[in-house]
Structure 1
Amino acid sequence: MGTTQLLFWFLSILAILGAILVVTSKNPVHSVLWLIVVFVAISGHYILLDAQFLAIVNLIVYAGAIMVLFLFVFMLMNLNADTEPQKNRWLKIAGVVTGGALLLVLVAALKKADLKAQMAEMGKGDIGLIHNLGLVLFKDYVVPFEISSVLFLSAMVGVVVIGKKAEEDKTTLGSQKYGG
């Protein structure tokens, strides 16, 4: 067994174990931390497939920004076992039936898939390299790329203008209220 296969199996087991722990963890913060482990394992798979750009974007966007947002929301929710509403028995039964139906659809879809004909090439080619992505982006799609950057810049300027206007309105209302 080569190093690539060993890494593949390690990352696969890590991703599956992390996904199971995401679902079974009682504490939502622990679920988020296990989800970060799953995202790191998936990024490892992207690296094995020579898709370094996807791996880095997955780590920065999902494991970084989205998980910080989830943790922030969980901390704001102030989840306590005492204040948690008790779920109805019919809701639990509906959840089991819905999950079973989803499992049935997934099994039927995988039954028709020909997995042996769809093997991924590992360590060959240069499709996912950042250099090639940059060449295509700045040769073929340079105009849409620049238009989107101007759009983002105008959106940021708009947010600053709206924020300043709201701040000035508060100041004006405050001075009128207190006779200023």
Structure 2
Amino acid sequence: MVSVIFYILAAITLGTGILTVLSKNPVHSAVYMIICFFSISGHFLLLNAMFLAVVNVVVYAGAIMVLLLFTLMLMNLSEQHEPKKKVLSRVAATVSACLMGIVLLATLLKSTPVIENYKAEGLDYQSVSIIGQTLLDEYLIPFEFASILLITAMIGAVLISKKEKKA
């Protein structure tokens, strides 16, 4: 029964992930992303990671998607006056995406799971206190960089969407 639920959630996750990228309408893309976040929370529930499932729903499906939809509405992307992207910018975007994929793959292959340390110490590695301690001790600087990146992205979106005054 659990494997059937896993395959259903995996199909929903992959399907909505692909639809998020391929959708021409940014609002539809955001809705597909919300569905994808909920299915990922279902995966967390299958792993008995209740805290991560709730945080995924509250933070990503709630707060981040509200900010994303607000930014999309603020930018008024329904207008069709934006020029076509040049070939050089498309090639640069493809190369940077491939490089990011290589970096992520290398990080995944070089990483070592720390679950064994917590099991050896007899700690519940899914508890909120252990997750908070790890986040604020070992991953404080990346956590702060992520918050600065989100603030910078929102400021950039507001500056891009501002109407220029005509002289």
Please state which band the TM-score falls in when normalised by the shorter chain: 0.5 to 0.7
Structure 2 partner of 1:117: none
Structure 1 partner of 2:25: 27
Q: Is contact 1:22–1:32 with CA below 8 Å preserved after alignment?
A: yes
Query: 1:70 deviation in Å?
Result: 1.1
Structure 1 partner of 2:43: 45
Structure 1 partner of 2:86: 88
Choose the corresponding residue for 1:61, options 59, 80, 98: 59
Deviations 1:87-107 (A, max 9, x none): 111111112222333444555
Query: 1:42 deviation in Å?
Result: 0.8
Query: 1:81 deviation in Å?
Result: 4.4
Counterpart mapping for 1:8-157 below 5 A: 8-105=6-103, 128=126, 133=128, 136=129
Q: Is contact 1:22–1:35 with CA below 8 Å preserved after alignment?
A: yes
User: Normalized against structure 1, the TM-score is what?
Assistant: 0.57
User: Normalized against structure 2, the TM-score is what?
Assistant: 0.61
SS at match of 2:7: helix
- Superposition RMSD on alpha carbons, in Å? 3.0
Output the amino acid matched with 2:99: A
SS at match of 1:80: coil
Identity among equivalent pairs (%): 44
**Aligned residue pairs, count:** 123
SS at match of 2:83: coil
Distance 2:102 2:56 in 1: 29
Distance 2:4 2:105 in 1: 27
Relative to structure 2, which stretch is displaced further, 94-103 or 34-43? 94-103
Structure 2: any 5+ residue segments left out of the alignment?
Answer: 113-123, 134-167
Counterpart mapping for 1:139-178 below 5 A: none
